[in-house]
Chains A and B, each alone.
Chain A
Amino acid sequence: MSTFMSRNDLLLLIGFTIAVLTMPLWLAPFGAGYPDLLNRFAIFAIFAIGFNILFGLTGYLSFGHAAFFGVGSYAAVWSFKLLSMDALPALLFAVVISALFALLIGFLSLRRSGIYFSILTLAFAQMSYNLAYSVLTPITNGETGLQLTLRDPRVLDNALFEAGPGLPSPTLLGMPLQGFEAFYFCAALLIVAFFLAQRISGSPFGMMLKGIKSNQTRMHYTGFNTRPYTLAAFVISGMYAGLAGGMLAIVDPLVGAERMQWTASGEVVLMTILGGAGTLLGPVIGAWLIKYFENIFSAINDVILARFWSFLPDGVSDAMVQITSKFVGDGWFLTLGLVFVLIVIFLPGGVMEGVRRIADQFRPSRRSGRPANQARPHPRPAE
C-alpha cells in the first residue's frame, strides 16, 4: 500500500471523499445545499483541478482553457443529439474531442513560454469563441446556443426504446440524471478527478512537471526533453476542462459560445490562485468560493439587506443598506475582486497558505524551516 499511495495522500483522499459526498448536508446552512449549485461546485472544481496540473504544477499560465470547456460542452450535446441521452458516451466524446483540440492548441502555444504562451492561448481561445459565434454556426448554432430538439436522430436511443413525448433529459444507464442523482454522479466524477490529479502529482511524471516549473534550464541540462512533458500536461488539463464542460452540458443542455469566452478562462485562473496554485485542494476551494459568491452574493437584494441591518437605528440601517448593496447583487464582482486582492496581497499562496499558517500555529516545533514538500507560495509562470 505504501508504494501505491502514501498514508497522507490516502487520508486526504478519504477526507475529500467524505467532504464531497456530504456537501448537501454541510452546505445547507449556507443556503447552498441545492443540487443545481452543488453540481456547479463539482463541475468547476474539476475544471480548476485540471487547470492546476498545467498552471500549478508545470508553471504555464493558460488564458484560454475555457475553449476546451466549451468544446467539451458542444461535444456532449452533439452526442445527446446524434447518439443517445446517456451521459457516458457524451462525456467520452467531450473528453476525447477536447483532448484533440488541446493537442493542437498546445502544440502551437507551447513553442513559447511565459507571457507569450499566455497570450497565444488567449488568442486561440478567442478565435474559437468567435468561430463558434460566426463561421461554425452549423455546429454551434451561434448566438442561440446549441440545444436539444424533438427532431434529433438519437440513433442509439431510438433503436433501443420507444421515444417518449417531449424533450428527453440526460440519463445514466437508463436512470434519469436529475436533482440529487445528478449531483452524486458529478460528485463521483469529482472524486475520481481528484484521485487522478493526486496520482499525477505524486508520480515521477508529476515530479518532472514540478522540475519544469522550478527550473526549465536545469531540466534541459539534466537530459529531459521538456516539450512532450508540457504538452502532456496541457492535454491532460484540456481533458479535465472538456470533462467539466461535458458535465455542464448534462445538467444544463443549452450550450452557448459564452462558455468559451475569455472571462470564463480568467475565472478558472482566479479559482486556482484564490485557492492556492500548486496544491491539490486549493483549486477545489477556489472554485467553490467563486461559485458560492456568484450564486449566493448575487442573489442578495435590498430587502434581505434591510432585514439584516434592521437591528440598527433607522437612519444608520438605511445607510448601511445603501453601502452594502453595492457589494451584493450585481455588485458581487466587487466583493470577489476585493477578496481576491486581499488574498493575493496577504496570502500569495491562496486560501491553502492561510490554512497552512493556521496549522503551523498549532505545531510550534515544525515552524522553523518550511518543509520542502510544500509548494512555493508565489505562483509563477515559467520563464
Chain B
Amino acid sequence: MAQPNIVLHVADVHKRFGGLHALADIDLQVEEGTTHAIIGPNGAGKSTLLNVIIGKLAPTSGQVVFDGAVLTGRKPYQINQLGIARVFQTPEIFGDLSVLHNVMIPALAKRDGAFRLNMLKNLNAETTIRDEALHMLEDVGMSGHVDMLASSLSRGDKRRMELAMCLIQHPRLLLLDEPTAGMSRHDTNTTIELLQKIKQRGMTKVIIEHDMHVVFSLADKISVLAQGRIIADGSPDDVRGNPAVQEAYLGGTH
C-alpha cells in the first residue's frame, strides 16, 4: 500500500470571533477515499471548522489546502468548482423549482463552469444532463418525486435531494453537516445506507455529526473537537476508548 494521499489539509487554523477563540490550532488531515467524522459537544466549533473549509469564513490564521490548492481566500463557488460539495444542516435547496431541476442545476454547474451565457438553448435539449439527474434521483430513492415542487418535500426528502444535488457533481470531497439532524430513526437508517453506498465509490467525506450511531456506522477516522481544539484523533475504536473524549462528552467542565 502506497503512502496515503492527503486530500484535505487544515493547517494550523485559528479562528477568533472577538474575544472568543472558536478554533485553536486545528490541524487536520483527511485521506483520500475515507470518511472522516468530526464530533464534539455543542459549541465545540464543528460548524465553524466546516465554514472555514468551504470558504464561508476566513480563518484568523492558518490555511486550508485541498489537493495542493490553497482554499483560504477563495470564494465558495471557486471552492465548489475545485471539487468540494456541501450538504447543509438545514437543507439549502431551490424551493421554488422542481426536484428534477434542483438536481439538474448542479450538473450544469459541473459541466458549464461558474458562468455561461447559454440563453438560446432550450433546457429540454439537455437530455444528457436530464438523464443523469433522473438516474441520480433513482439512486437516492426519489424517482417518485421528480416533478414535485422541492419546497413541498418532507424534511427527510429535502436532505436526500440535497445529497443528490451534491453527488451529481461527483465531488472529490463531500462535506456533510449533521446529515441526519432532526430525522426519524427510519430516515436516519436510510441515510446511513445511502452514505455507505457512496463510500463504496471511494468518495472522500468529512462529516459532522451528533448521533454516535451514525458516526460509528460510517467513519473510518474520527476527530474529536472540544472548545475549539482537537482533543483526540484516530480510528473509531481509539476514540471510543479515549478518556479525554469520555470526559468531554460526559460533561467535564474543564
Q: Are B108 and A204 in contact, with the CB atoms below 8 A?
A: yes
What residue of chain A has the Cβ atom nearest to residue B115's Cβ? A228
Bound-state CA distance A109–B64 (Å) is: 33
Report Cα–Cα, A8/B75, bound state, in Å. 40
Chain A 1-15 interface mask (CB, 8 Å, partner B; 1/0)? 011111000000000
Partner of B97, one of A4, A205, A223, A372: A372
User: Given contacts A199-B122, A200-B119, A203-B118, is CB(A220)–CB(B108) below 8 Å?
Assistant: no
Within 8 Å of chain B (Cβ to Cβ): is A229? yes
Q: Which residues of B contact A226 (CB under 8 A)?
A: 77
Per the 8 Å Cβ criterion, residues 236-283 of A in contact with B are none
When distances are taken between beta carbons in the complex, the residues of chain A under 8 Å from B165 are 218, 222
Interface residues of A in 126-163 (CB under 8 A from B): none
Q: CB-CB < 8 A to B101: which residues of A?
A: 207, 210, 372
Decide: A205 and B119 in contact? CB cutoff 8 A.
Answer: yes
The distance in angstroms between the C-alpha atoms of A228 and B116, with both chains bound, is 9
- Residue contact A373 to B98, C-beta cutoff 8 Å: yes
A211 touches B119 (CB 8 A): no
> Which residue of B is nearest A206, CB measured?
B119
Which residues of chain A from 352 to 383 have any CB-CB distance to chain B below 8 Å in the complex? 369-373, 375-376
Q: Closest residue of chain A to B162, judged by CB?
A: A218
Known: A207-B104, A223-B169, A370-B149. A218 touches B93 (CB 8 A): yes
Cα distance A210–B102 when bound, in Å?
Answer: 11
Determine which of A200, A206, A213, A220 lies in contact with B75 in the assembled complex, contact meaning CB atoms within 8 Å: A220
Indicate whether A202 sits within 8 Å of B115 (C-beta atoms), given known contacts A220-B76, A224-B77.
no
Residue contact A225 to B114, C-beta cutoff 8 Å: yes
Looking at the complex, which one of B75, B88, B94, B122 makes contact with A211 (CB distance below 8 Å)? B94
B30 at the interface (CB under 8 A from A): no
What are the residues of chain A within 8 A of B110 when measuring CB–CB?
Answer: 223
- In the bound complex, CA of A2 to CA of B125 (Å): 8
**Inter-subunit contact A371/B77 (CB<8 Å):** no
* Interface: B223 (CB within 8 A): no
Chain A residues bordering chain B, tally (CB within 8 A): 39
Per-position 1/0 for B108-152, Cβ under 8 A of A: 111011111111111111110000000000000000000111101
| Contact of A210 (CB < 8 Å), options: B94, B113, B149 | B94
- A204 lies within 8 A of B118 (CB): yes
- How far is the CB of A80 from the nearest CB of chain B, in Å? 31
Residues of B within 8 A of A220 (CB): 75-77, 80
**Residue B81, interface by CB 8 Å:** yes
Given A221-B85, A224-B114, check contact A199 B119 (CB 8 Å): yes
CB distance from B132 to the nearest CB of A (A): 14
For A305, the chain B residues whose CB sits under 8 A away are: none
- Which range holds the interface residue count of chain B? 35 or more
8 Å CB contacts to B: which residues of A178-237?
199-200, 202-208, 210-211, 213-215, 217-226, 228-229, 232
| Docked-complex contact A221 and B105, CB < 8 angstroms | no
Q: Is the CB of B148 within 8 A of A372?
A: yes
| Closest Cβ–Cβ distance, residue A67 to chain B (whole Å) | 24
Q: Is the CB of B98 within 8 A of A199?
A: no
Q: How far is the CB of A150 from chain B (nearest CB, A)?
A: 44
Flag if B109 contacts A214 (CB, 8 Å).
Answer: no
B230 CB within 8 Å of chain A: no
The CA of A106 and the CA of B18, in the complex, are separated in Å by 35
Q: Let me know if B77 and A3 touch, CB within 8 A.
A: no
Give the distance in Å from the alpha carbon of A257 to the alpha carbon of B16 in the complex: 53
Bound-state CA distance A365–B106 (Å) is 33
| Smallest CB separation, A369 vs chain B (Å) | 7
B116 / chain A contacts, CB cutoff of 8 Å:
204-205
Cβ-based interface call for B86 (8 A): yes
B99 interface residue, CB < 8 Å from A? yes
| C-alpha gap A66/B167 in the complex (Å) | 44
Interface residues of A (CB under 8 A from B): 2-6, 199-200, 202-208, 210-211, 213-215, 217-226, 228-229, 232, 369-373, 375-376
- Other contacts beyond A199-B119, A205-B118, A226-B77: 10, CB < 8 A: A5-B122, A203-B122, A210-B94, A210-B97, A217-B92, A221-B80, A221-B85, A225-B77, A232-B117, A369-B152
Q: B-side interface residues toward A, CB under 8 Å?
A: 54, 75-77, 80-81, 85-86, 88, 92-101, 104-106, 108-110, 112-127, 147-150, 152, 165, 169
20 contacts between A and B (CB under 8 A): A199-B119, A199-B120, A200-B119, A203-B120, A205-B117, A207-B104, A210-B97, A211-B105, A221-B54, A222-B80, A222-B85, A222-B105, A222-B169, A223-B106, A225-B75, A232-B117, A369-B148, A370-B152, A372-B150, A376-B95
Instruction: Give 6 closest A-B pairs by Cβ, nearest first.
Output: A372-B98, A223-B80, A205-B119, A3-B125, A223-B109, A225-B114
